[in-house]
Amino acid sequence: MRSVRPTNVLLNALAVAALVFTTSLSPPVAAETGAEAWLRYAPLSPHAAKSYKQLPGKIVVLGDSFVLRTAQQELARDVAKMLGRPLTSSGVPGGKAIVLATLDEIHAILPTLQAPQGLKADGYWITTARVRGAECLIITASNDRGVLYGVFAFLSKIARGESIKKINELQQPYAPIRWVNQWDNLDGRIERGYGGPSIFFLNGKVRDDLTRAGQYARLLASIGINGCTINNVNAAPGILEDDFISQVRRIAAVFRPWGVQLSLSVDLSSPKVVGSTHVATAASAVQPAQSVAEPLDTFDPLDPRVADWWRKKVNEIYRQIPDFGGFVVKADSEGRLGPSTYGRTPADAANVIARALKPHGGIVFYRAFVYNHHLDWHDLKNDRAKAAYDNFHPLDGAFDENVIVQIKNGPIDFQVREPVSPLFAGLRRTNEAVELQITQEYTGQQRQLCFLVPMWKEVLDFDMRIDGNSTPVKDIVSGRVFHRPVAGFAGVANVGMEANWMGSPLAMANLYGFGRLAWDPSLSSETIADEWTRLSFGRDLLVVKTINDLQLNSWHVYENYTGPLGAGTLTNITGNHYDPGPESSEENGWGQWHRADHQGIGMDRTVATGTDYIAQYTPEVQKLYETLASCPDNLLLFFHHVPYTYALHSGKTVIQHVYDSHYEGAEQAGDFVPQWKALRGHIDDERYRDILARFEYQATEAVVWRDAICNWIYRLSGIPDQKGRVGSPQP
């Protein structure tokens, strides 16, 4: 046997000792699945915990409701997790305490307490006051939900290490409607969902175990989201079968403690088909339906029998779900039936349902995503981008007060870059909501990093110049500009059963960011990214800086190697919406055309020579886009058809820009890998390895994209890359 020399033994022993020493110095990095998302509430170091030692050890809750109880439990549990300190709870004031109560309740013990300004529904105020001689921390609001939001905001401060000394913070939501839509099918699959199967449905029934649905509601409440539509806008009529409603009721029950209102997507032909669709049944805990709506031979919205059908159906829903939110409607779109079957308008369709909901306080979201997907592509005047405005602008003022027209941010379909929809400025007497897509359908499907908050900020801050005034989109969709009673934000989230919800831990920043922007669109992308990173990954400075940078750069990087100059995401649009497929955009009726040919590229949407789309904007915005001189480079090909040799404002030709941006983007995506590798040992191994594998994959995909687009455009244009990378043999 070979003897081991003493020096080696000594060195090995020293190495082991050194390892043990260093590991015992750095705090253990616990395994994480991402399931807790931004609500990890990791224990604070003893040093950090010290700065919260003045926090009272008791919670006093005034009043009683599901939501207040949730607020109290959440506070007690998470403070214990972070500070290692139990909090007792009581309904009776006395001594130092954290008081949770609505303003009305608090006035019973503190009649003089006045919020610095009127609190809107869901707004909250965190302050300190002396109650019967004892210094108390007060979390108050005009309603119970606001108290819960205040608790989450307070916990977020501790988790991020913010000081709570002399706290006095009042926060109001920017808009009353802050909803997510889930595109879940009843069989359990999710349309454009990349985080596993539905948390609500399985094999045509509501899941028996709704634990995840409850946890989802908690995540939503923590960022101020107050409504969730649980099923696909391509709605199965079976959702309205009486037996199904009694199943859905169970989902509403797990949402309720978090103040999340449940709503449903419905098919407009329901009056004709519901009653004859087969849905799987589950044991019902409520009495059978009292007012069965029989199937009719029509769904004509102006037929009184149809109005009666909706009334009965809605009454039955409210009997089972008293806090039901309302319906989302996709009609006359992508093959869905709609009011056009009977020569009726979207307003006729929306109003018949709205009138059934009105006595209960429910709302109809009627989607403006109505377009003809059999457009004649030979006709250069045809333009899908015009559809929403053409269909809805003439109906301004025709919708009932409890209808909201839900408008996608751009006129096409969640592309990597689009101008904002002109319809935002085209409805003055109609409620609006902006629809943003959190799930990354056209932006990498969660397999590639694309933090969408900077894109949404550009949309929300875009000034529509209505009547020559400053009218950013955020002020229109929040109801401010035209003083609309209900308005706001809808985000297509599509979380699923995968532990980390969206399929990728980093993609959760988009859900977080949606909620934060819906609450306060003036927050910067940097602030939102920073909050999210600290909550999700901790406060290590290298971790925070690296992840923030990755997130904040990712949209531009993705745009660089996928879709140039506003031409759209050049994905396979007839297939998976993921791989490069620029040819699939052309020569079909879908209308996602870029009009690339041998001479040039881009859609001419000008008033002068094009489709006239630009005429849908206000005069100042028209001016911006109509001429090549003023049109920004990043939207050039959305609005204009130009030769490949056209010189951009940057001085580069279009073709050289395409080559350069694709090479630059692929290189930037490749750089994500070493940036991420620097975090090894600074975060838990599970998420480290998972995300590393994603970045390595993204780096190779970016090269696939680069080559596909560069070769395609070279084949079309015949113009080689000045830098010799495309179109001529490598030296």
CB 381 to ligand GCW: min, Å: 24
Near ligand GCW by CB under 6 A: residue from 149, 174, 183, 501: 183
Catalytic residue among 383, 441, 498, 531: 441
Give the number of C-alpha atoms closer than 13 A to the C-alpha of residue 488, restricted to the C-beta side: 29
Yes or no: say if 543 and 537 are a contact pair by the CB < 8 Å rule.
yes
Question: Are the CB atoms for 537 and 550 separated by under 8 Å?
Answer: no
- Contact between 373 and ligand GCW by CB under 6 A: the answer reads no
**Residues of span 268-287 touching ligand GCW by CB under 6 A:** none
Selecting among 64, 135, 169, 334, the annotated active-site residue is 334
Token reading at 403:
């209808």
Residue 52 or 183 with smaller CB distance to ligand GCW? 183
Binding flag, residue 191, ligand GCW (CB under 6 A)? yes
**Residue whose CB is less far from ligand GCW, 156 or 333:** 333
Distance, CA of 456 to CA of 409 (rounded, Å): 8
Cβ proximity to ligand GCW, 107 vs 192, nearer residue: 192
The rounded distance, in Å, linking the Cα atoms of 595 and 384 is 13
137 — phi, psi (to 5°)?
-95, 130
Tell me whether residue 441 or residue 540 sits nearer to ligand GCW (CB atom). Answer: 441
**Span from 120-128, 206-214, 227-235, 710-718 in contact with ligand GCW (CB under 6 A):** 227-235
Percentages helix, strand, coil for the chain (3-state, rounded to 5) are 40, 10, 45
Q: Angle formed by the axes of helices 525-537 and 453-461, to 10°?
A: 150
What contacts 621, CB < 8 A, 6 or more positions away?
A: 422, 425, 464, 465
Distance of closest approach, residue 713 Cβ to ligand GCW, in angstroms: 24
Total binding residues toward ligand GCW, as defined by CB under 6 A: 9
Q: Which of 238, 259, 69 is nearest to 176 (CA)?
A: 259
Asked if 559 is part of the footprint of ligand GCW (rule: CB under 6 A), the reply reads no
Burial label, 17 (beta-carbon count in 10 A; 0-12, 13-18, 19+): exposed
By the rule CB under 6 A, 413 interacts with ligand GCW:
yes
Q: In whole angstroms, what is the distance from residue 569 CA to residue 448 CA?
A: 14
The token duo for 677 is 């590798």
Give the interface segment with ligand GCW, choosing from 229-237, 603-611, 626-634, 716-724 (CB under 6 A). Answer: 229-237
Query: Residue 499 corresponds to which amino acid?
Result: A
Phi, psi (rounded to 5 degrees) for 239: -60, -25
Contact criterion met (CB below 8 Å) for 655 and 649: no
**Closest of 188, 32, 220 to residue 689, by C-alpha:** 32
- Binding-residue pattern over the window 350 to 369 for ligand GCW, x denoting contact by CB under 6 A: -------------------x
Which stretch in 117-125, 164-172, 213-221, 228-236 sits in contact with ligand GCW by CB under 6 A?
A: 228-236
HEC profile for 506-565? HHHHHHHHHHHHHHCCCCCHHHHHHHHHHHHHCCCHHHHHHHHHHHHHHHHHHHHHHCCC
Euclidean distance between CA atoms 343 and 302, whole angstroms? 10
Structure tokens at 176: 């009353």
Residues of this chain, 75-134, that bind ligand GCW according to CB under 6 A:
none
Q: What angle do CA 58, 62, 67 make, to 5 degrees?
A: 95
- CB atoms closer than 10 angstroms to residue 428: 16
Closest distance between ligand GCW and the C-beta of residue 259, in Å? 27
The CB-of-49 to ligand GCW minimum distance in angstroms stands at 46
Q: According to the binding rule CB under 6 A, does residue 234 interact with ligand GCW? A: yes
Site map 581..600 versus ligand GCW, x via CB under 6 A: --------------------
Tell me the closest approach of the beta carbon of residue 183 to ligand GCW, in angstroms. Answer: 5
Name the active-site residue from 32, 413, 475, 498: 413
- Per-position x/- string for 320-349, each x denoting binding to ligand GCW as judged by CB under 6 A, each - no binding: ----------x-------------------
User: Pick from 77, 192, 319, 539: which binds ligand GCW (CB under 6 A)?
Assistant: 192
For residue 444, the minimal CB distance to ligand GCW (Å) is 15
233 binds ligand GCW (CB under 6 A): yes
Nearer to ligand GCW, 330 or 556 (CB): 330
Indicate the DSSP class of residue 648. Answer: P
Q: Which of 174-182, 207-215, 226-234, 319-327 is the region at the interface with ligand GCW (rule: CB under 6 A)? A: 226-234
Helix or strand holding residue 170 (H, E): strand 169-171
* Residue closer to ligand GCW, measured from CB, 218 or 330: 330
Q: State the nearest-atom distance from the C-beta of 336 to ligand GCW, in Å.
A: 8
Q: What is the DSSP letter of 704?
A: H
**H/E run at residue 363:** strand 363-367
The nearer residue to ligand GCW, 492 or 635, going by C-beta atoms, is 492
The three-class DSSP label of residue 266 is strand
Q: How far is the CB of 105 from ligand GCW (least distance, A)?
A: 42
Which CB atom, from 537 or from 590, has the smaller least distance to ligand GCW?
Answer: 590
Interaction of residue 384 with ligand GCW, rule CB under 6 A: no
Tell me the closest approach of the beta carbon of residue 261 to ligand GCW, in angstroms.
Answer: 21
Interface region with ligand GCW, contact rule CB under 6 A, candidates 36-44, 230-238, 421-429, 447-455: 230-238
| Footprint (CB under 6 A) of ligand GCW, residues 606-645 | none
Answer positive or negative: Cα dihedral of 81, 84, 88, 93: negative
441 has catalytic annotation: yes
CB 68 within 8 A of CB 124: no
* Interatomic CA distance for residues 501 and 131, integer angstroms: 42
| Part of the chain binding ligand GCW (CB under 6 A), chosen from 115-123, 231-239, 446-454, 474-482 | 231-239
Q: How far is the CB of 585 from ligand GCW (least distance, A)?
A: 13
| Stretch of 232-240, 246-254, 463-471, 511-519 contacting ligand GCW, by CB under 6 A | 232-240
Tell whether residue 200 is a contact of ligand GCW (CB under 6 A): no
Minimal distance, residue 367 CB to ligand GCW, in Å: 7
Inter-residue contact 183 to 190 (CB < 8 Å)? yes
Q: Does 174 bind ligand GCW (CB under 6 A)?
A: no
Name the packing angle between helices 541-562 and 685-717 (round to 10°).
Answer: 20
Active-site residue set: 334, 413, 441
Residues in contact with ligand GCW by the rule CB under 6 A: 183, 191-192, 232-234, 330, 369, 413
